[in-house]
């Protein structure tokens, strides 16, 4: 026989097959070769937790042509193995330089089987590609072709308990291997419990129950391939099944405590359903809970095992860092004396756990190389374990800031504000509070320079996240973590995630949408709060222009302040739609205009009144230059120009550099001002220098201190801001 398995499971499968009675067991790539009688074959199909298929090898031959493959296949006495009333199908695996088309190779084997039946009995069996009675397996190893009967009748990872349509990140065979390598069998025999704090659809917990309860993994399967063979010994099989049922009944009575928890209720419902189908509905405790609430289950130390998300999307990198950091904190604080097993497709994130792995094993999850990290967590004093490891200075500063700013925010009517902004050099994070109405924190790490020891930076971040979670007593899902670093090229426009989860906040009577996950910024620049407040106070009866408008928060404030009309310009369709939603949230309708033509300002459509709140999708530099050059362009009483430091979007005709281009920007804005109009020009570029000489004909005042609220009064200021107007006669 050849027992196939996932890569990395071969050494474990050697031990298992030998324990099930196989002889001459030899480890090979992707499985093991062995010998055994029919009782052994039945036993392996019923009891193997690790094998994917059990293949009975019938013949091997050198085949360099399709005709040779056909001839070798027809020589096998197929009618001696099964009757013509049975259906069959041919599956092909492996590679051959001669037989490169696997479908064609399968077709030649099918024809050979059908012709052998026709020659011997005058009747051929039917082909059923979906659910054949007899699965035939062809393995191509260059010129060597091996034909086998699949005694398992399909992959053995299909235990028969997974609800239809329910996906799982782990196959059951791989989950069993993780548990066996983690020493779960010994832990369970000693009465130790099992906890999976990120259980998903529950595969690890259910497989743990089957192992601890001495339940044959094939007991719930409806059929096996060997049952359709002529030499099937039903009595021998039934004896094995009855013995397995007795062992299951006895084993489940001794089942240790098992807990699976996840913060996704829909996923956990699938886990419960899977457990019910496995006959374990009342044997496992399931809990909808956050990772931070994970605690030991049962009365003595056991195994905490989990398979964290891999984060294949680029934008989830920061969330993964947060997850691994807080997982490590939870393990150290609450699972002293336990063994921990973390199976990960991101072994580079292992150091984020802050634990030293005692053992490490390599597996493959499909084609993805993965690692199983095993930790023996040292027991600690309860009082010590309840406090975050390190971070006392950060905790004290965070607590002090929080107390002071909460009082200020309540007096000032401010809801969203910054609590901490790299106040201590060792803890380079920014922490923003968003009540929506439940509390959410937006945490950004300022990426450490290359001169900083990465292990020290990892430790500091882990301490900071632990302190933040403990101080605010928030679930992991309410802490939205990002890594802030210098953006290059198109990086500045990339989404961070695809959750599309928008929350409402309120500011100065305006309701606004924020998104704490999908983008580097949330849609609301907190440091510009005083400037938006100022615009709202000055907007009554005026026309307002918002350049590089982003999500239109300043436009919403202007509308709330009674602006006579607004025009907001940005290149991003996503941000303009966000701006439209912000306006509509406050009761104002808006029209989005997509600029395609290079000439002059767009006139309103014939018969249509000009929109009171117009959102223009256009390259701001180009649009502004066109408007400034046109005598027919509208004039504005209030203009906000808050350009990015740098932009090179593919949709732009050039590259924007605010230091280089600010004079032209300001001059073109000034050309659109009414005689008594005001331009607010702001930039967050560090070391920016306004060219006063080149703008000497304009009246300019640096109002930066007036645009900083209490939560941003830290040097250096997060932005610089100037109030600019036209000089009157004699000025």
Q: pLDDT by residue (tens digit) across 563-596?
A: 999 999 999 999 999 999 999 999 999 999 986 4
Residue 100's pLDDT band, with cuts at 50, 70 and 90, is: confident
Structural domain contains residue 686: yes
Q: Please give the average per-residue pLDDT across 626-652, as a whole number.
A: 88
Question: Is the predicted pLDDT of residue 190 greater than 90, yes or no?
Answer: yes
Residue 412, domain member (yes or no): yes
Q: Which domain holds residue 7?
A: 2-150
| pLDDT value for 500 | 77
Over 90: is that where the pLDDT of 352 sits? yes
pLDDT in tens, 238-278: 999 999 999 999 999 999 999 999 999 999 999 999 999 99
pLDDT band at 609 (very low <50, low <70, confident <90, very high): very low
627 and 669 in a common domain = yes
pLDDT of residue 485: 76
User: Average pLDDT in the 373-384 region?
Assistant: 78
> Could you tell me how many helices (H) and strands (E) the chain has, helices first?
19, 30
Query: Given pLDDT bands bounded at 50, 70 and 90, which one contains residue 39?
Result: very high
User: Is 496 inside any structural domain?
Assistant: no
pLDDT at 602 over 90: no
Q: Look up the CATH number of the domain holding residue 479.
A: 3.30.750.80
311 and 459 belong to one structural domain: no
Per the structure, the count of domains in the chain is 4
| CA dist., res. 215 & res. 245, Å (int) | 8
Residue 390 pLDDT exceeds 90:
no
Which pLDDT value is given to residue 499? 61
pLDDT score recorded for residue 262: 95
d(CA 607, CA 595): 20
Q: Among residues 357, 512, 491, 538, which one has the least CA distance to residue 436?
A: 512
| Co-location of 473 and 563 in the same domain | no
pLDDT at 99: 81
Rounded CA-CA distance 438/658 in Å is 38
Within this chain, do residues 378 and 398 fall inside the same structural domain, yes or no? Answer: no
The answer to whether residues 361 and 409 belong to one domain is no
Q: What is the pLDDT of residue 492?
A: 46
Contact 116, 58 (CB under 8 A): no
Q: What is the dihedral of CA 386, 389, 390, 391, to 10 degrees?
A: -60
pLDDT at residue 2, rounded to an integer: 98
Following DSSP, what letter does each residue of 76-132 receive, concatenated?
S-HHHHS-TTS-EEEEEEEE-SS---HHHHHHHHHHHHHHHHHHHHS--PPB-SSS-
Distance CA 202, CA 184 (A): 16
* Average of per-residue pLDDT values in the chain: 91
- Residue 23, strand partner residues: 35
Q: Are residues 420 and 462 in the same domain?
A: yes
Looking at residue 531, its pLDDT comes to: 98
Residue 565 is part of a domain; what is its CATH number? 3.40.50.150
Q: Are residues 424 and 371 in the same domain?
A: no
Q: What share of the chain is helix, strand, coil (3-state, %, to 5)?
A: 35, 25, 40
In a domain, 312, yes or no: yes
Co-location of 425 and 549 in the same domain: no
CA 419 to chain centre: 27
Lowest mean pLDDT among 75-84, 85-94, 443-452: 443-452
pLDDT (0 to 100) of residue 380: 73
- Whether residue 717 sits in one domain with residue 689: yes
My answer on whether 311 and 376 are in the same domain is yes
- b/e per residue 397-431 (b: at least 16 CB within 10 A): bbeebbeebeeebeebebbbbbbbbebbebbbbbb
In this predicted structure, the answer to whether residue 433 has a pLDDT above a threshold of 90 is: yes
pTM for this entry:
0.86
pLDDT per position as a tens digit, 138-182: 999 999 999 999 999 999 999 989 876 556 679 999 999 999 999
What pLDDT shows up at residue 169?
A: 79
Are 320 and 434 in the same domain? no
Given this model, what pLDDT does residue 77 score? 97
Region 184-210: mean pLDDT is 97
Whether 98 shows a pLDDT value over 90: the answer reads no
| pLDDT band at 494; cut points 50, 70, 90 | low
Predicted confidence at residue 97, as pLDDT, reads 82
Asked if residue 679 has pLDDT above 90, the reply is: yes
Q: Tell me, what DSSP letter sits at residue 568?
A: E
Is 506 a domain residue?
Answer: no
Assess if residue 231 is contained within a domain: no
Instruction: Say whether both 705 and 558 belong to one domain.
Output: yes
Q: Does the CA dihedral 639-642-643-645 come out positive or negative?
A: positive
pLDDT for the residue 431: 98
- Residue range 301-313: mean pLDDT, rounded: 85
Q: Please give the backbone phi and psi of residue 521, each rounded to the nearest 5 degrees, phi first.
A: -100, 165
What are all long-range contacts of 113-117, with beta carbons under 8 Å and residues at least 24 apart?
113/73, 113/74, 113/78, 113/88, 115/74, 116/74, 116/76, 116/77, 116/78, 116/79, 117/78, 117/79, 117/84
* In the predicted structure, residue 227 carries a pLDDT above the cut 70: yes
Q: Which of 93, 117, 150 is the last residue of a domain?
A: 150
User: Alpha-carbon distance 369 to 105, whole Å?
Assistant: 30
pLDDT of 71:
96
Q: Which of 332, 356, 385 is the last residue of a domain?
A: 385
Distance CA 136, CA 56 (A): 10
Residue 368 has pLDDT above 60, yes or no: yes
Peptide bond into 213 cis (omega under 30): no
Written as one string, the DSSP assignment of 247-316 is HHHHHHTTPPPEEEEES-HHHHHHHHHHHHHTT-TTTSEEEE--GGG----SSS--EEEE------SGGG
Domain end point (choices 433, 450, 485): 485
More confident residue, 623 or 488: 623
CATH number of the domain where residue 98 is located? 3.30.2130.30
233 located within any domain: no
Residue 640 confidence (pLDDT) above 50? yes
Q: What is the CA radius of gyration of the chain?
A: 34
Residue 597: the pLDDT is 43
DSSP string, 371-392: EEEEEEPPP--HHHHTS-SS-H
pLDDT of residue 605: 43
Q: Which pLDDT value is given to residue 252?
A: 96
Give the pLDDT of residue 223: 93
pLDDT of the residue at 486: 63
Residue 590 lies inside a defined structural domain of this protein: yes
Rounded to an integer, the average pLDDT of 99-121 is 93
């Amino acid at each position: 026989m050849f027992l196939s398995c996932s890569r990395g499971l071969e050494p474990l499968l050697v031990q298992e097959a030998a324990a099930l009675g196989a002889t001459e067991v030899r480890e090979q790539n992707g499985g093991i070769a062995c010998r055994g009688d029919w009782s052994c074959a039945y036993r392996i199909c019923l009891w193997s937790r690790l094998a994917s298929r059990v293949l009975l090898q019938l013949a091997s031959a050198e085949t360099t042509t399709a005709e040779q493959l056909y001839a070798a296949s027809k020589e096998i006495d197929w009618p001696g193995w099964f009757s013509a009333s049975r259906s069959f199908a041919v599956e092909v695996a492996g590679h051959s330089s001669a037989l490169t088309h696997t479908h064609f190779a399968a077709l030649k084997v099918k024809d050979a089987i059908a012709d052998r039946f026709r020659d011997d009995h005058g009747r051929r069996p039917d082909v059923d590609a979906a659910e054949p009675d007899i699965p035939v397996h062809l393995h191509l190893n260059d010129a060597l072709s091996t034909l086998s009967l699949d005694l398992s009748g399909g992959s053995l990872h299909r235990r028969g308990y997974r609800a239809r349509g329910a996906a799982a990140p782990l196959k059951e065979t791989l989950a069993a291997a993780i548990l066996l390598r983690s020493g779960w069998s010994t832990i369970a025999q000693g009465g130790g419990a099992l906890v999976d704090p990120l259980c998903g659809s529950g595969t690890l917990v259910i497989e743990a129950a089957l192992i601890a309860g001495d339940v044959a993994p094939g007991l719930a399967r409806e059929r096996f391939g060997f049952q359709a063979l002529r030499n099937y010994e039903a009595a021998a099989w039934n004896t094995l099944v009855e013995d397995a049922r007795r062992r299951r009944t006895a084993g489940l009575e001794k089942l240790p405590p098992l807990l699976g928890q996840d913060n996704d209720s829909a996923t956990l419902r699938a886990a419960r359903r899977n457990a019910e189908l496995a006959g374990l509905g009342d044997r496992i405790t399931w809990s909808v809970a956050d990772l931070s609430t994970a605690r030991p289950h049962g009365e003595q130390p056991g195994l905490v095992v989990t398979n964290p998300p891999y984060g294949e999307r680029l934008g989830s990198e920061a969330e993964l860092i947060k997850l691994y950091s807080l997982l490590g904190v939870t393990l150290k604080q609450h699972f002293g004396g336990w063994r921990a097993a973390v199976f990960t497709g991101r072994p580079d994130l292992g150091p984020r756990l802050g634990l030293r792995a005692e053992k490490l094993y390599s597996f493959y999850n499909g084609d993805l190389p993965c690692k199983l990290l095993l930790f023996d967590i040292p027991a600690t004093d309860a009082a010590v374990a309840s406090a975050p490891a390190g971070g006392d200075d950060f905790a004290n500063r965070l607590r002090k800031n929080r107390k002071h700013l909460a009082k200020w925010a309540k007096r000032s009517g401010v809801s969203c504000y910054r609590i901490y902004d790299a106040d201590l050099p060792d803890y380079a994070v920014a922490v923003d509070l968003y009540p929506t109405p439940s509390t959410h924190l937006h945490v950004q790490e300022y990426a450490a320079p290359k001169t900083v020891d990465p292990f020290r930076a990892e430790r500091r971040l882990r301490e900071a996240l632990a302190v933040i979670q403990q101080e605010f007593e928030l679930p992991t899902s309410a802490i939205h973590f990002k890594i802030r670093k210098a953006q290059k090229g198109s990086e500045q426009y990339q989404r961070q995630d695809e959750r599309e989860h928008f929350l409402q906040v309120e500011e100065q009577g305006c309701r606004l949408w924020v998104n704490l996950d999908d983008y580097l910024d949330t849609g609301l620049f907190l440091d510009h709060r005083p400037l938006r407040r100022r615009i709202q106070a000055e907007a009554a009866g005026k026309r307002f222009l918002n350049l590089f408008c982003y999500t239109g928060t300043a436009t919403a404030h202007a509308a709330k302040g009674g602006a006579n009309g607004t025009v907001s310009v940005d290149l991003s369709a996503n941000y303009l739609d966000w701006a439209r939603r912000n306006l509509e949230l406050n009761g104002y309708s808006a029209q989005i205009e997509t600029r395609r033509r290079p000439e002059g300002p767009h006139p309103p459509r014939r018969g249509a009144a000009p929109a009171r709140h117009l959102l223009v999708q256009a390259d701001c530099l180009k649009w502004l230059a066109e408007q400034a050059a046109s005598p027919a362009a509208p004039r504005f009483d209030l203009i906000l120009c808050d350009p990015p430091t740098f932009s090179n979007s593919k949709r732009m005709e050039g590259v924007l550099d605010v230091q280089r281009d600010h004079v032209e920007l300001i001059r073109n804005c000034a050309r659109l001002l009414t005689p008594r109009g005001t331009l607010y020009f702001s930039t967050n570029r560090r070391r920016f220098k306004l060219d006063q000489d080149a703008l000497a004909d304009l009246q300019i005042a640096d109002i930066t201190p007036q645009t900083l609220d209490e939560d941003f009064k830290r040097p250096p200021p997060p932005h610089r801001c100037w109030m600019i107007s036209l000089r009157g006669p004699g000025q």
